[in-house]
Amino acid sequence: MKVHNFSAGPSILPDFTVEKTAEAIKNFAGTTLSLMEVSHRSKEFVAVMDEAIAMFKELLSIPEGYSVLFLGGGASTQFCMIPYNLMAKKSAYLNTGAWANKAQKEAKLFGEVVEVASSKETVYNYIPKGYVVPADADYFHITTNNTIYGTEIKEDMDCDIPLVADMSSDIFSRPIDVSKYALIYGGAQKNLAPAGVTFVIVKNEILGKVDRQIPTMLNYQTHIDGESMFNTPPVVPVFAALQTLKWIKEQGGVSAIQKMNEEKAALLYNEIDSNPMFKGTVINKEDRSLMNICFVMNDEYKELEKDFYEFATSKGMSGIKGHRSVGGFRASTYNALPKASVQALVDCMQEFKSTHVK
């Protein structure tokens, strides 16, 4: 039997995605060739790319005037492409974690960066609120889900300037109002596909407003014009992403996925809050991520942390170690993780309590 995969990324994918991709790696669309050895310009693969873009638009109800791109380079390359393409003089960033911090560091190469608020001093254990976004900045950058620290901005915010969001680890976990954003991006390896493809949803009209020369490959317009085929796209991850999109649709779309995610998260947070051995690391309940659930042992049980880790591992839990900057445990409960896996972890926590708490 497969272990329960709580890995933060690359992470669990639907069985459907893994099976369909494995089949296509052997014989792609009846061509008798492997998906790994066909031209990205073959009619079979062009159909995959077209369908992936169409399903992306359908599942997120993306309005007219936006382009969907599948690129290489990971979310980390977007940290630089965003200011390169969008920042004339000034940008604003909300510093909610290590990725947000890396994104704003890149923007500093291009001009003035205003950090509107930061939760760095308390190891990013909450989402700052009540900050002011400068009206003269070219865009405001947020990270909706902070994969390492387990905080999440779960609602689409109103913003008077173009809003840019890193949704690497919560894309397709809930419905989003794309019209509120100028650009949404992420590495696909958390909730969509194997590593190697980066998705970008960009509002066409925000481009072409900076004077600087942009290297061809780093220019969004290149990839819009080339329909994500200017250079060879990551063929296998794009195929896998399409399978995941089909799976999401089969589940009932993003609203149905959101409901399942809420149930899974409630199950685990309830145990964390009621089990005397554990506590959550994120203080405000409204800031708690539905995707990455971080918890530690309560002070009086601290020395049992390694024991719990070994116990849970022996029961088939995989990938639950917290990030080194937070410690403790992190259970990633992405879309594809079955509720039964969360229940298995909760059972471990209860069994561990019954053997250690008098």
**Residue 54 CA, distance from chain mean position:** 20
Q: How far is the CB of 167 from ligand PLP (least distance, A)?
A: 8
- Residue 231 is assigned to a ligand binding site: yes
* Interface residues toward ligand PLP, by CB under 6 A: 9, 74-76, 99, 143, 147, 166, 168-169, 187, 190
78 versus 258: smaller Cβ distance to ligand PLP = 78
CA distance 154 to 55: 23
Residues 6+ apart with CB under 8 A from 60: 172, 175, 176, 178, 201, 254
CA distance 179 to 156: 10
* Angle, CA of 129, 325 and 310, to the nearest 5°: 125
Q: How far is the CB of 97 from ligand PLP (least distance, A)?
A: 7
- Residue 138 is assigned to a ligand binding site: no
Positions marked catalytic: 99, 166, 190
Closest CB to ligand PLP: residue number: 187
CA distance 75 to 100: 11
Query: For residue 198, what are the CA distances in angstroms to 48, 123, 187, 348, 357?
Result: 16, 27, 4, 35, 46
Residue 221 has, within 13 A of its CA and on its CB side, a CA count of 13
Q: How far is the CB of 307 from ligand PLP (least distance, A)?
A: 29
Indicate if the alpha-carbon torsion angle 40, 46, 51, 54 is positive or negative: positive
Q: How far is the CB of 100 from ligand PLP (least distance, A)?
A: 8
Cβ(326)–Cβ(149) below 8 Å: yes
76 versus 318: smaller Cβ distance to ligand PLP = 76
Of residues 190, 157, 159, the one with CA closest to residue 172: 190
- Residue 147 is assigned to a ligand binding site: yes
67 versus 169: smaller Cβ distance to ligand PLP = 169
138 versus 166: smaller Cβ distance to ligand PLP = 166
- Residue 41 is assigned to a ligand binding site: yes
Q: Is 288 helix (H, G, I), strand (E, B) or coil?
A: strand
- Residue 67 is assigned to a ligand binding site: no
228 versus 301: smaller Cβ distance to ligand PLP = 228
Token pair listed for 305: 């942390």
Q: How far is the CB of 146 from ligand PLP (least distance, A)?
A: 7
Token pair listed for 74: 């990971």
Cβ(166)–Cβ(103) below 8 Å: yes
13 versus 297: smaller Cβ distance to ligand PLP = 13
- Residue 213 is assigned to a ligand binding site: no
- Residue 247 is assigned to a ligand binding site: no
CA distance 88 to 78: 16
- Residue 99 is assigned to a ligand binding site: yes
Q: Is 97 exposed, middle or buried (0-12, 13-18, 19+ CB in 10 A)?
A: buried
Q: How far is the CB of 258 from ligand PLP (least distance, A)?
A: 18
Cβ(230)–Cβ(187) below 8 Å: no
| Known binding residues | 41, 75-76, 99, 147, 166, 189, 231-232
| Known binding residues for L-glutamate | 41
| Known binding residues for pyridoxal 5'-phosphate | 75-76, 99, 147, 166, 189, 231-232
